[in-house]
Amino acid sequence: MADIKIMVIDEQPFFRAGVRQALINRFDLEIVEASPEENLTAIIEENLPEVILLDVNAPSLSGLKIGHDLLQKYPAMRLLIMTSAASSEELFEVIRIGAAAYLDKKANTVELETVIRRLAHGEYPINDSLLATPDVAEHVLKQFQEMVALGMSVDSLTAPLTNRETQILHYVAEGNSNKKIAQILNISEQTIKNHVSSVLRKLNANDRAHAVVLAMRMGWIPIDENHIMGHLEEKQREAKLIETR
């Protein structure tokens, strides 16, 4: 049984077959193919892929809309955007929808496999794409700054959190563990972990504490005494656990 399942979405069967052929000898990788015109929701729910590989279909960039919608519905998935027309404008949009990685179609098999494995292990390679080219990074940063200067909402600057993710982040800010939040919401602890992972990815946060700080700055959760004290208490508990090990 494959350890990592990848869903390749592209309107061209030739491209999908090419990805499959490139990874055919990696026996721990399983490829599921799909066309954008198919029922992607049904295919995802049947196969439960960890990684979605999506062509953005330049110049229309219609794939970005598909990627955005999929991440809204399945936030725990890792989205890899592939394109043959890299530009700073496109990278800005890829970052904005919450994709976890960005790769040129000219990439070789080793590069593709490496990115897929990093995604499956919870990494966020999109930062590498941004930092590797200073000119692109400067342009993307300028676009974000201009949006802020125009008074555009913070939600337009990053993939927005779902209502459930915001609710869970509130509980995290109050110092509750995943287990406690699961008991409060009457859902599984694994589901809470999935939501927290999605929040970290969307906010590009290093950990739960970082996510809380970022969300407070964005105004997604209020800055009040309960949140601050709860967060401090959580840190104290973590410190005690480390001391007893």
Tell me: the pLDDT tens digits for 180-221?
Answer: 999 999 999 999 998 998 888 777 777 787 787 777 766 677
Give the residue, 65 or 43, on which the prediction is more confident: 43
Q: What DSSP string describes 15-64?
A: HHHHHHHHTTT-TTEEEEEE-TTS-HHHHHHHH--SEEEEE--TTTTHHH
Least confident stretch, 95-104, 125-134, 159-168: 125-134
Angle, alpha carbons 26-27-29 (nearest 5°) = 70
Rounded to the nearest 5°, which phi and psi values hold at 103? -145, 135
**Terminal-residue alpha carbon distance, the chain:** 36
Per residue in 62-75, pLDDT tens? Answer: 778 888 888 888 87
Enter the DSSP assignment of 159. P
Asked if residue 154 has pLDDT above 50, the reply is no
What b/e string do you get for 5-35 counting C-beta neighbours within 10 Å, with b at 16 or more? bbbbbbeeeebbeebbebbeebeebbbbbbe
Strands 29-34 and 101-104: unpaired
Domains in the chain, CATH or no CATH each: 4-155 (3.40.50.2300), 161-244 (1.10.10.10)
Percent of the chain exceeding pLDDT 70 equals 69
Enter the DSSP assignment of 161. P
pLDDT of residue 91: 74
**pTM higher than the cut 0.85:** no
Angle, alpha carbons 45-155-168 (nearest 5°) = 60
Per residue in 120-150, pLDDT tens? Answer: 887 777 766 655 555 655 665 566 556 555 5
Percent of the chain exceeding pLDDT 90 equals 26
Q: What mean pLDDT comes out for the span 219-245? A: 53
Q: What is the gyration radius of the CA atoms in the chain, in angstroms? A: 19
Q: What mean pLDDT comes out for the span 60-89? A: 79
Asked if residue 241 has pLDDT above 90, the reply is no
52-66, 153-167, 182-196: range with highest mean pLDDT: 182-196
Asked if residue 225 has pLDDT above 50, the reply is no
Residues 59 and 88: beta-carbon distance below 8 Å: no
Question: 8 pairs with which residues across the strands?
Answer: 33, 53
The span from the CA of 104 to the CA of 51, in Å, is 17
Q: What mean pLDDT comes out for the span 37-57? A: 90
Three-class SS state of 130: helix
